Each structure stands twice: as C-alpha cells, then as structure tokens.
Amino acid sequence: MAGPTGAEKSRDLPRVLGPWSAASILIGSIIGSGIFVKPGVVAKSLPSPGWILACWVVAGFLALVGSLVFAEMGSFYPGAGGQYTYLRESFGKLTAFLFGWTNLLIINSASIAALAVISAQYFFNLLPEGMRPPPESHWLTTVPVVLILILTAANAVGVRWGAVIQNTLTVLKLGALGLIIFGAFLPGTARGSNFSSFWEIRGNPSTEAIWTGFKGAFLAIFWAYDGWYLLSFSGGEIKNPRRNIPLGFVLGILVVIAVYVAANVAYFSVMSLEEMTQVTRQGGVAAEVASRLYPAVGLTLISIGIMGSTLGAANGNILTGPRLSFAMARDGLFFQSFGNVHPRYLTPVLAIAVQGILGAIYVFAGTFDQLTDSVIFAGWIFYLFTMLACFPLRRRHRDRGDVYLAPGYPVLPLCFVLFALAFLVYSFWDSADLARRWYLASPKDLADPKNKGIADGVYLIVSALIILAGIPAYWLVRFTRKRKRQAPGA
C-alpha cells in the first residue's frame, strides 16, 4: 500500500508557529557566513559606503519579493517539496530534475565546502599565533574535510543529532553579530571620516569596470541572503498560514536587512574601505574588526561565534539537502538507491553520504569566493525559473479561496525576473571573457598581479556545463528506472 504523500503528512503536523516564530526560522536560515566574510569582497568591488549599503538593501528587497512569491506558491502546494515542486508543476519533470541535480552537484556541495573552509580559518584564529598554519599548509584543506565528515556522520545517524548541533550553533552565530554591532557604539570607536565620499565611486573607473563591480558585489551579497526561500518548507506547521507565512517573511527579512546594514555600518565605523580591501588576517574583515574592538579577547570571541555560524550553515545544508535527492528518488526522478532509508538510523544514509563526499571534494576545488560565486550563479538560474513559474501557477490556482496571493503581482515578480535575467546574462558574459583570458594567458601573464582573478570566470562556466550535463543524466535515470520496472519479477 502506498504511503502518505508529502501534502498528507503536512496536514498531520500541528500548526503551532506564530509570525515571530516563523520570522525566527527565516532569520536563522539566512544569516550564515556572508555578513562576516564578504564585506572585503564588496569593498573591492564598489569602494563607496553609500553604494555598498544600497546594494545590501536592494538585495534584501529582492529576497523579500522572491520570498512572498514563494509563499504564494507554497500555499498552492503546502508541504509538497517547495521549489522542486513548483518547477515540476510549471515546467515539467526535466526542469525539476535539473534543479535537484544542480542542488546536489553544485549548490549544496560547494556551499558545504565553502562554509567548512571558513570554519577552519576561524578555528585557526583560536590557536596561538605561532601555531597557525601558513597559507600553503595542508591543514587548510585537511581540517575542512574532517569537519564535513563529522557533520555528515552526525546527520547520517539521526536527524535529532543534526538538529541539536543546529540549535547550538545558531546561538553562537547571533552572539558574534551582536558583539560586532554593539562594539561599534563603544565610546571612541566610530571614525566618521570613514563615511566621507559617501556616494563616490573612487578612482574614476570605466563604465565596464563599474558594471563588473556591481556584478561582483551582488555575487557576494546574494551569498549572505541565500536561504530566503526556506520558510516555505515549514508551511504545514504555521498557524493561520495565509496571514502568518507572508508576515513571517516580511518580519524576518526586514530584521535581516536591518542587521546586515547595522553590521556594515559597524565595519565602516572601525575601518576605512581602503583598509577593508587590504585585510590579510584569516577570517577577513569581521576578524580584523573584532580584534580592534576587543583587543584582548575580540578575535577569540568572534572566531568562536563565526565558527558557530558557518558550521551551523554547513550542517543545515547537510541536514536538508539530501532530503531533496531522497524525495526525487521516491518520485521516480532520481537514482532509486537515493530513496533508501537506513533500517536502524531511519535516515537517507546514501544521499547524506554522497552529499558529504562531494562537499569534501569541493574543498580542493577552489577558494571560498570561487565556490560561493558558483553557488549563487547556479542558484539564481533556478530562482529565475521559479519566479517565472508563478505566472502559470497563479492562473491555474487564482480562483481558489484557500490560498495566499502575493502583493504587487505582476509588477514585482516581473522586476525580479528582469533583474535576475540581467544579472545572470552579464555574469556569464563577464565570466566567459575572464575564462578566455585565463585560457590564452601564459604562466608569466598569470603571475602578473593585474591578472589576479581571471581564473574565477572558469567556475561559472563549469557550473553551466554541470547543469547542462544533467540533461543526459535525466534520460539515463528515466531509462534505468524503466528497465527495472520491466525486469522479470519487478
């Protein structure tokens, strides 16, 4: 006899979460490593406080628009798989498969690796200065791999252990942010001169350089906001979902925007933008600011807090990501073995193990920024498709009386789609140009500091190729499962 569907299971969950609980879930899902480690990248891209703060606010507004549309689609299909379901119901099985394929091979795996790398860097900050490994040390890859394997094992033996780890690390994350923001208001800390030339883009760059700067800034900032869609997966446990899901989205994202702006103002208060671009300390701007705010214990406190933040985010990916592969396998849209449940631990052990192994491999595949840029590029491809899905899905369900309809339709979703399309097209075009220059460059050219970063373009090109490789993989899955159904005794 067939088991209950995702929608049927969601109706059995008690609706106990109010709007503030929903908002807290969203806040915990979004705040990870980005606000701590990306400000230096943003400062190099757009060296002007006003434009930097504006980009943080614009990215937050886009997250709000996207989350409200996701809430609408979540009311159409409550508890039934979130983004994967929206894509399947609007564009068909191939698009849904490509989303799951990309989530496994790029989005989740590269995220886990990047977060583990940053966690290791902050762990090294806890060591006495003489014991910290040099930049070329193997410990910079060994420790992240060990952290990934530990988190993978913890989640494989039971979801309860993964949840306990997640709750503990969330407290450390919020404490680290609080220390930085509070410290900026201590007497004698703020330096108003750091906010001079508030809207000026310094150095008289060319128009192309300005557009490239905005692209780099948004790639970095979108990493900090990633996770804005996750509240829709908890729709079955929220009281009065038509009211409280959108209210939770609005409250949660407004709080995140306020926290991110406050944290950036704190950074600007302590360091000039020129200083931000030149930070060499492991852990980046946040570690440097903490060491200045609290000279005796600042680096230790912030390192513990940010380790909690980044490990918590990595654990969240290991906790939730394999469930998508598991659900797809159960739907017949992924390799059947990914849908198996361990008889003792009652978890999708194979899906979790593969996710962990891929994350460990990605540790050796590039720097933190190269990995996160790949994640954001791949993720926004499917954000674009999912936002496009809202148009046919609203036409299909708009006459139902039990659904939430996002405000601002069709203008706000269309603005999101146009921004996402422009962002993706320009990112790919710019990356293709960088990859071409990298391919044609001689070893001497690559050693020139002016060519630093041209290899970064390769990562977005490779991400696009991995996504396209999902098309033959889809037909292989369909063929394999069809063969098994036709086998004697099946």
- The Cα 296–Cα 163 span in angstroms is 33
**pLDDT tier at 381 (50, 70, 90 boundaries)?**
very high
Q: Are 353 and 343 in contact (CB under 8 A)?
A: no
- The Cα 12–Cα 197 span in angstroms is 57
**For residue range 217-230, what is the model confidence (pLDDT) as tens digits?**
999 999 999 888 76
Neighbours of 126 (CB within 10 A): 13
Q: Is the pLDDT of residue 213 over 80?
A: yes
Rank 17-26, 329-338, 361-370 by mean pLDDT and report only the highest.
361-370
- The Cα 269–Cα 291 span in angstroms is 14
More confident residue, 123 or 488: 123
Q: Are 20 and 168 in contact (CB under 8 A)?
A: no
Q: Is the pLDDT of residue 3 over 70?
A: no
237's CB contacts (< 8 A; 6+ apart) are 13, 14, 15, 16, 17
Q: Is the pLDDT of residue 5 over 50?
A: no
Which region among 81-90, 320-329, 361-370, 394-403 has the lowest average model confidence (pLDDT)?
Answer: 320-329
- The Cα 153–Cα 318 span in angstroms is 10
Q: Are 177 and 255 in contact (CB under 8 A)?
A: no
Letter for the amino acid at 69? V
3-state secondary structure of 265: helix
**For residue range 466-490, what is the model confidence (pLDDT) as tens digits?**
999 999 999 998 888 777 776 665 5
**pLDDT tier at 1 (50, 70, 90 boundaries)?**
very low
Query: Which two structure tokens, joined as six digits, stand for 20?
Result: 């503030």
Say if residue 409 is exposed, middle or buried (CB neighbours under 10 Å; 0-12, 13-18, 19+).
Answer: middle
- The Cα 338–Cα 328 span in angstroms is 8
Q: Is the pLDDT of residue 363 over 90?
A: yes
- The Cα 321–Cα 302 span in angstroms is 28
**For residue range 392-401, what is the model confidence (pLDDT) as tens digits?**
999 998 888 7
Q: What is the model's pLDDT at position 170?
A: 63
- The Cα 306–Cα 170 span in angstroms is 10
Q: What is the model's pLDDT at position 316?
A: 73
Q: What is the model's pLDDT at position 6?
A: 42
Could you tell me the domains of the chain? Answer: 14-442+449-483 (1.20.1740.10)
Q: Is the pLDDT of residue 375 over 70?
A: yes
More confident residue, 425 or 169: 425
Percent of the chain at pLDDT exceeding 70 = 87
Neighbours of 17 (CB within 10 A): 23
**For residue range 259-286, what is the model confidence (pLDDT) as tens digits?**
899 999 999 998 888 889 888 776 778 8
Q: Are 453 and 84 in contact (CB under 8 A)?
A: no
Q: What is the model's pLDDT at position 48?
A: 85
Q: What is the model's pLDDT at position 490?
A: 53
Q: What is the model's pLDDT at position 106?
A: 94
Which region among 14-28, 198-212, 303-317 has the lowest average model confidence (pLDDT)?
Answer: 14-28
Asked if the peptide bond before residue 19 counts as cis, ω within 30 degrees of 0, the response is no
In 3D space, the residue among 110, 168, 180, 156 whose CA is nearest the CA of residue 309 turns out to be 168
21's CB contacts (< 8 A; 6+ apart) are 238, 248
In 3D space, the residue among 326, 450, 412 whose CA is nearest the CA of residue 70 turns out to be 412
**pLDDT tier at 80 (50, 70, 90 boundaries)?**
low
- The Cα 208–Cα 199 span in angstroms is 18
Q: Are 4 and 79 in contact (CB under 8 A)?
A: no
**pLDDT tier at 9 (50, 70, 90 boundaries)?**
very low
More confident residue, 350 or 447: 350
